[in-house]
Amino acid sequence: MCLNALNIIRHLAQKYNKIYYFCDSVTSIEPNTTYKKMKKLIIIVASLLCGSLVYAQDLATVTETYNNGITANEAGNVEMALQNFKEALVMAEALGEEGAEIVTNCKNSIPVLMFALAKKAVNEAEYDKAVAGLKETIETANKYGVDNIADDATVLIPQVLMQKANGFFNDKDYAAAAAAYKEVLAEDAANGMASLRLGAALKATGDKEGAIAAFQAAIENGQDKAASKQLINLYQQDAAASLKAKKYDDAIASALESNKYGENAKAYQIAGTAASNGGKTKQAIEFFEKYIELAPTAKNSGDILFSIAVSYQQLKDNAKAKEYYQKAVADPSKINPNNLKNAQAMIAAIK
């Protein structure tokens, strides 16, 4: 029993002259009928007084804990401030209506501090810790109705994951970068830049099919120019490899696939060479003529014109052959010396 309450009991008992023997416990008072009734009243009053004193002490403790949080936050000790506000919240909720204001203040402050700690982790490049903190922030902010913090934290998560992935990519750890970019896309499937970089990382690891899928996703999400360029280069490399391996049909197919993402002279050159080597003379002419159309001033344009002339000659079209031999020698700086010599000889020979 509280000390103050015990003193009150003594005062009330003495007033009614009912004490026969008194010590520090009311149970030691000699009983009689009047005293028994009085004893019940005294105990009730004392209990109420004791409860009020305990309540006052609890409210003071809650207030002190909350104020300690404010002080810690002002001093820049966010971790301590967060701990104080969490403790104050639990105690204030136990006080009911009297602690309502502190409860509200704590609920408004806790998500803000959690968000601050998560951003601190980002600045320290502790990305996994930051993401975990942001997710906890979102959960807490939604629980306490602090919508703006929940929204800000939600937006930040893909950015943090992107920063993490870019770090791996810049360090040429392409497998780790690919895994991290996939994390970004799990949070934000429409992130075109993440898809673009995922494609580049997968391409570097040799996952061609995965890279193609990622680049196509990038095209669908605002990275059309950059992703198309990547796909053009990827298919051109495939076409060149197939040509070198004498897989001429595959070389043509890859070259034409490259052109789906942007018509380019190099693809037509590879396709024309593959068609010519594969005995598809008419197709070779078609591809080489497209090359000249797209790159009329290319350094090797004379050699391409020479190839067209040879193809027409194979088809017994001497008029066209002579026409292209004449075009081939028009600028000697753009034709191989041997081809130049042969073209000049053919011009003289063809009637």
Joined tokens for residue 198: 């995922």
Q: What was the pLDDT predicted at 257? A: 96
**Inter-residue contact 181 to 194 (CB < 8 Å):** yes
The mean pLDDT value of the chain amounts to 87
The confidence band for 40, taking pLDDT boundaries of 50, 70 and 90, is low
- Confidence band of 260 (pLDDT split at 50, 70, 90): very high
Alpha carbon distance 300, 295 (integer Å): 9
| 237 contacts: CB under 8 Å, gap ≥ 6 | none
Mean pLDDT of 247-259: 97
pLDDT score at 58: 86
Q: Which two tokens stand for residue 337?
A: 């010396």
- What confidence score (pLDDT) does residue 317 get? 95
DSSP state of 31: P
What are the φ and ψ backbone dihedral angles of 171, each rounded to 5 degrees? Answer: -85, 5
Give the confidence band of 14 by pLDDT, cuts at 50, 70, 90. Answer: low
CB 62 within 8 Å of CB 91: yes
pLDDT digits (tens, 9 = 90+) for 159-195: 999 999 999 999 999 999 999 999 999 989 999 999 9
Amino acid in the structure at residue 13 = A
Predicted local confidence at residue 279, as pLDDT: 95
Q: How confident is the model at residue 26 (pLDDT cuts 50, 70, 90)?
A: very low
Could you tell me if 55 and 91 are in contact, meaning their C-beta atoms sit under 8 angstroms apart?
A: no
Taking only the tens place, the pLDDT of each residue in 46-92 is 444 444 444 444 888 999 999 999 999 999 999 999 999 999 999 99
Provide the pLDDT for residue 349: 93
Q: What is the mean pLDDT of residues 304-330?
A: 96
The share of the chain scoring above pLDDT 90, in percent, equals 82
Please state the domain extents for the chain: 1-124
For residue 31, pLDDT beyond 90: no
* 284, pLDDT greater than 80: yes
The predicted structure's pLDDT at residue 56: 47
Whether the Cβ atoms of residue 279 and residue 267 lie closer than 8 Å to each other: no
**350 backbone φψ class: left, alpha, beta (φ>0; ψ -120 to 50):** beta
Q: How far is CA 110 from the centre of its chain?
A: 25
Distance CA 228, CA 82 (A): 49
Q: Using one digit for the tens of pLDDT, what is the confidence trace for 321-350?
A: 999 999 999 999 999 999 999 999 999 999
Q: Per-residue pLDDT averaged across 267-279, rounded?
A: 97
Query: What digits encode the pLDDT tens for the residues 150-168?
Result: 999 999 999 999 999 999 9
For residues 32 and 291, give the distance between their C-alpha atoms in angstroms, rounded to a whole number: 121
